[in-house]
Amino acid sequence: MKKYRDIVGDGGSHIAEQVQEQQGRLKARLAAVRRVVAIVSGKGGVGKSSLTANLAAAFARQGAAVGVLDADLNGPSIARMLGVRGMRLKITEAGVEPPRSAQGIRVMSMDLLLPSDETPVTWEAASQAEAHVWRGNMEANALREFLADTAWGPLDLLLLDLPPGTDRLSTVAGLVPSLSGTVLVTIPTEVSHLVVKKSVTVARATGAPILGLVENMAGLFEGSGGEALAAEFAIPFLGRVAFDPRLAAAADVGVPFVTEHADTPAGRALLEIADHLSAALSPLPGSSPPHPASPQWGEEKR
């Protein structure tokens, strides 16, 4: 796509039409996806990607058709965590076919496109200030392209692993009008809570329901817990995932922790969080809460 600088006065490139056409394709793609859920936390390093990878694996265990879009263009980690790093993207008539993990999870990430480990995505601009202004715009363009061109096929659930930064969710929500909900992640420190509180405000502004808050790395720090934070904002508390070095080791070798260590405190917590989310996402038509613990993914057909 041309840069704005190239088309001031529009020089015939019809950029507005290009964006509109892409947004149309994106909408058509997402029509085959039953639910889109964003995993967010303004705070970096709290375990968004780990939670996304493990929830995807937990949903796949329940029989759901799951996809994960790594919306972190400059710190992509999902491909590694789900063991698809280095796999080839297949270009077909229908679009770009994402690789599947051993658990059947379809994964799309900038990590599958970048030529080397050391090369970050940079946005060229005449000045630093201009680069900053354009970064958000270019990121939105790149994500729109991912969403418009990835041939996920029919999915029960598409998880979006967001980068840190409270502004990122607004960008994504602007691209995905059918966002089914957001899941917030914190760790038990005041510093994390401080940033996550801002994320609650952004999440509310999207209009999509906040499905709940997860406390990760529980037990590692003495700070106040996520449960109190969830209560303060009247959002559901989804659970507490203990700090477990095996979780980091599993991510490094590309096998979701819940696949190999389901019967550990952290494994059970992750599976329970997935159950809560499934229930919140798949109410039986006409039923009122409480929802069944484990919905029959794929039964309520598109």
**Could you say whether residue 237 binds ligand ATP (CB under 6 A)?**
no
From 109-117, 136-144, 228-236, 242-250, span contacting ligand ATP (CB under 6 A): 242-250
**Could you say whether residue 50 binds ligand ATP (CB under 6 A)?**
yes
In this structure, the dihedral spanned by the alpha carbons of residues 214, 56, 150 and 211, taken in order and rounded to 10 degrees, is -30
Minimum Å distance from CB 226 to ligand ATP? 13
Query: What is the DSSP code (8-state) at residue 112?
Result: G
Distance CA 33, CA 26 (A): 11
Ranges within 110-139 binding Mg ion (CB under 5 A): none
Count how many Cα atoms sit within 13 Å of the Cα of residue 163 in the half-sphere of its side chain: 17
**Could you say whether residue 184 binds ligand ATP (CB under 6 A)?**
no
Q: Where are the alpha helices (DSSP H) in the chain?
A: 15-30, 48-61, 78-81, 128-149, 168-175, 190-206, 226-232, 245-253, 257-260, 265-281
Among 35, 48, 106, 193, binds ligand ATP (CB under 6 A): 48
Binding to Mg ion by CB under 5 A, coded x per residue (else -) over 36-65, reads ------------xx----------------
Nearest residue relative to Mg ion (C-beta): 49
Strands in 237-242's sheet, in edge-to-edge order, are 106-108, 66-70, 155-161, 33-40, 181-186, 210-218, 237-242
Q: Which does 238 bind (CB under 5 to 8 A by kind): ligand ATP, Mg ion, none?
A: none
Site residues for ligand ATP per CB under 6 A: 44-50, 72, 75, 77, 163-164, 216-217, 241, 243-245, 247-248, 251, 266
